[in-house]
A and B are shown apart, each in its own frame.
Chain A
Amino acid sequence: MIDLARRDAVAERPSSRAFDIRSLTGWLIPAFLLALVIAGWELWVWIDDTPAWFLPAPSAVAEEAVSSRALLWEHTWTTLQEVLLGYAIALVVGIGTALLIAFSRIAERTVYPIIVASQAIPIIALAPILLIWFGFGMTPKIIVVVLLCYFPIAVNMADGLRAADSDALNLLRSMGASRWQIMRIVRIPSSLPYLVSGARIAAAVSVIGAIVGEWVGASSGLGYLMTRAASQFLTARLFAAVAISAVIGIALFAIVALIGRALVPWAKEGPGKRD
């Protein structure tokens, strides 16, 4: 039921300015907490005199990051390439699969259940097999990233294409719209919020795929650097590599979230917000 006070008036919304301030304070508090944890860590290492091979102080990690920046950058670049390439391929193939499922009833009955069921497979477990098939290069890592990212993108978008408002679909049908027109005008736009949430999940898991792929066997990459640093007890370097991989993951997630918000301005809080 529509609220009487809103009758024939523009629905009230908080001004964008107020929203900005709130989102800023929303960031400030967790950032402050993080700073507090890092400071506490620094202090603890200093008081306890923890050996650096066991737990290096944050300052030591930062020092290591600066002094071996060339090495770190080289390995970061490898991992970044694997993540971005894998993510891009998963995006294209995932969207393609979702459209195929939406267009073809046969694909919906055959491909879709397989995709949903295969989400339960621990993709990471395939990494050693891919190593045997594709060797130590970037290819097996990219494949792991693709596989990890593909499922949430394909499944979310396919669900979104199916979840289009039935009244809107009937309206278009009553106008004599073709299947393609219905797809373009109703189904694809209403699937975008779902696609965005799938793409966000994929962004979060993409770095995991690359790192684990590198652990299994590689000659370059942050995961490779981590295993090598760990075996040599270069713990500060290990921490630096971990921090960089975290930054990659967070940055990718944030970029995808930002693009998503620009892409679907009508869906403020993702799928299910409408109504």
Chain B
Amino acid sequence: MELLSVSHLSVSFDEIAAIRNVSLSVRQGEFVALLGPSGCGKSTLLNAVAGLVEPDSGEIRLQGEVVRELRGRVAYMPQRDALLPWRTVLENATLSAEVSGRDKTEARERARELLPRFGLEGFGDSYPGALSGGMRQRAAFLRTVLSDREVMLLDEPFGALDALTRRSMQEWLLDLWNDLGRTILMVTHDVEEALLLADAVAVMTARPGTIKHREAVDLPRPRSADMIAAPAFIEQKTNLLTVLREELGEMGGRL
């Protein structure tokens, strides 16, 4: 079943088109990676689905129903962790419950139970300033998961991390996604990350962005990080890089 479907969506800022005529659908429990060069409008698409930007035209459906007010309907994770420095990890993680007026103590308890799964055991009452980059990002994930929304929108969740942390975080997310069975739409510009994590990869063209190409990822589940060395992985990666390179060529080699 299609849980999220975007059809003919166009967004522009100051009359400059950011994305044009984008259609994309994500099935229940599916992990879709949105891949594209910097500045192609991937984040704009994500923001439109999060209800943060007003589209010029097109529609967004959740479970088949056209949604006008998307705010509060999907879980959104911004590019940087956006943890509030004056709130503890638990207070940050239960933000959504607080905003939507759900029981705060119950939410805190649930968050506390999940801390070990998020590598944050013993850090529930710590402030974000005391955490490492990877821990901060996992706290942001915890907050996103605790939004209790079917669809999770992740905007380059590992973009700010160093290469080693990023790889271990990707493996961690693989496991987590397996357990949670949530539907994820993730923006990334990292081909390996897209292939390692997602069921399907959608490639966006340069600005004004539109979906150029979509393909299923051939790797079996459960996956692990060593799969990046598998011949099938390398082949698909090479193909995707070729598709992306054409895109960069059209942008005049601008990265």
Binding site for B on A (CB under 8 A): 1-4, 6-11, 13, 165, 167-168, 170-177, 181, 185-186, 189, 192, 264, 266-267, 274
A2 to B52, CA, bound (A): 29
13 contacts between A and B (CB under 8 A): A2-B165, A7-B164, A9-B132, A11-B132, A168-B82, A170-B50, A171-B77, A171-B78, A172-B99, A174-B71, A175-B71, A267-B85, A274-B85
A170 to B46, CA, bound (A): 12
Instruction: Enumerate B74-123 residues with CB–CB distance to A below 8 Å.
Output: 74-80, 82, 84-86, 95-96, 98-100, 119
A193 to B79, CA, bound (A): 24
A11 to B131, CA, bound (A): 6
B127 at the A interface (CB under 8 A): yes
B157 to chain A, nearest CB (A): 12
A141 to B71, CA, bound (A): 51
Apart from the given pairs A171-B78, A176-B100, 9 other A-B contacts in the complex at a CB distance below 8 Å: A1-B162, A2-B132, A3-B162, A7-B165, A13-B130, A170-B47, A173-B52, A173-B71, A185-B99
B129 at the A interface (CB under 8 A): yes
In the complex, the number of residue pairs spanning A and B with C-beta atoms less than 8 Å apart equals 97
A175-B95, A175-B147 as given contacts; A2 in contact with B82, CB under 8 Å:
no
B97 to chain A, nearest CB (A): 10
Query: CB within 8 A of B86: which of A13, A171, A264?
Result: A264
A2-B132, A7-B132 as given contacts; A165 in contact with B82, CB under 8 Å:
yes
Contacts of B243 in A (CB 8 A): none
The B interface, classified by DSSP as helix, strand, loop or mixed, is: loop
A165 to B80, CA, bound (A): 10
A7-B162, A7-B164 as given contacts; A176 in contact with B72, CB under 8 Å:
yes
A173 to B76, CA, bound (A): 10
When C-beta atoms are compared, the residue in chain B nearest to A175 turns out to be: B99
A170-B52, A174-B76 as given contacts; A8 in contact with B84, CB under 8 Å:
no
B51 at the A interface (CB under 8 A): yes
Query: CB within 8 A of B82: which of A10, A167, A266?
Result: A167
A4 to B47, CA, bound (A): 31
B135 at the A interface (CB under 8 A): yes
A178 to chain B, nearest CB (A): 8
Q: Is the CB of A185 within 8 A of B95?
A: yes
B161 at the A interface (CB under 8 A): yes
A167 to B134, CA, bound (A): 18
A69 to chain B, nearest CB (A): 45
Q: Is the CB of B84 within 8 A of A170?
A: no
A3 to B164, CA, bound (A): 11
When C-beta atoms are compared, the residue in chain A nearest to B96 turns out to be: A175
